[in-house]
């Protein structure tokens, strides 16, 4: 599975470039503007894809190294990582073509694959040198961003197909915010406060605040502060996970007394 991981990691930025050039249809920003929601983030927030793609490529190259080839944890996560990368690449043309139901299923599957891989990496008791950064942080960053992107995509499908009122989006948007908070907190707990996961989530939530605080949509101001609240709870949970003895990890080993 080493080569599929590398191919899938290289495919993501390649497909993203073609997508931004309009080869598949309207780009993501244009489509998002057509279907405004209370969960969408400011345009600058999507620049996080650059570091995600770069770190995923570094991980894909590192896992080819002799020392990483037969590591039990990496053997477990390679299929999920390759699938998550491939699904991420596939999502881009599907979304550009406005095949929204397929795109929605694809992004949720990508999240499931990469969140599971990030959890396995975060809980490895004996990580290889460099694994925490080039594997754990990289996959966690990708999973953290998808944890918000999946709900944004869900909101856009609701608006595109008018599955709920589009002139009064706050009630059902609050349900999505609550579900997103549950996913973020549950995954973060399983990952023991993964730095990559939390950083991507906080970046996305800050982007939601920036966008919604300037939006004219009814309920946007409330949505902006809900995003801030979720970010605050996530940050507090991460601090607790990092400081509480039952969740502390030193040099890949559990702290004394566990």
pTM of the entire structure?
0.92
Per-10-residue mean pLDDT of the chain, 258 residues long, equals 94 94 86 92 95 97 90 94 98 94 98 97 90 93 97 96 95 98 97 95 98 96 98 97 64 37
Q: Please check whether residue 243 is in contact with residue 193, taking contact to mean a CB–CB distance below 8 angstroms.
A: no
Q: Please check whether residue 116 is in contact with residue 80, taking contact to mean a CB–CB distance below 8 angstroms.
A: yes
State the virtual CA torsion across 221, 237, 146, 109 in degrees, nearest 10: -130
3-class secondary structure, 70:
coil
pLDDT at 245: 55
User: Taking each helix axis from N to C terminus, what angle separates 138-160 and 100-122, rounded to the nearest 10 degrees?
Assistant: 160
pLDDT at 61: 96
Domain ranges in the chain are: 2-254
Between CA 80 and CA 136 the distance in angstroms is: 13
């Amino acid at each position: 599975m080493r080569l599929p991981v590398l191919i899938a990691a290289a495919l993501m930025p390649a497909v993203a470039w073609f997508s931004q050039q309009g080869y598949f249809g309207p780009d993501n920003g244009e489509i998002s503007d057509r279907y405004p929601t209370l969960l969408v983030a400011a345009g600058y927030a999507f620049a996080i894809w650059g570091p995600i793609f770069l770190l995923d490529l570094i991980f894909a190259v590192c896992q080819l190294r002799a020392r990483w080839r037969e590591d039990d944890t990496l053997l477990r996560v390679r299929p999920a990582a390759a699938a998550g990368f491939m699904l991420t690449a596939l999502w881009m043309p599907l979304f550009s073509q406005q095949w929204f139901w397929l795109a929605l299923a694809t992004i949720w599957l990508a999240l499931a694959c990469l969140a599971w891989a990030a959890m396995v990496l975060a809980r490895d008791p004996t990580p290889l040198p460099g694994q925490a950064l080039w594997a754990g942080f990289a996959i966690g960053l990708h999973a953290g961003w998808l944890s918000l992107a999946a709900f944004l995509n869900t909101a856009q499908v609701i608006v595109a197909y008018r599955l709920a009122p589009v002139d009064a989006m706050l009630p059902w948007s609050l349900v999505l915010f609550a579900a997103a908070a549950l996913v973020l907190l549950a995954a973060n707990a399983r990952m023991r406060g993964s730095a990559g996961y939390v950083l991507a989530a906080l970046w996305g939530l800050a982007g939601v605040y920036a966008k919604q605080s300037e939006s004219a949509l009814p309920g946007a101001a409330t949505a902006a502060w809900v995003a801030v609240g979720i970010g605050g709870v996530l940050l507090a949970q991460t601090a607790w996970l990092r400081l509480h003895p039952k969740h502390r990890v030193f040099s890949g080993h559990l702290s004394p007394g566990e």
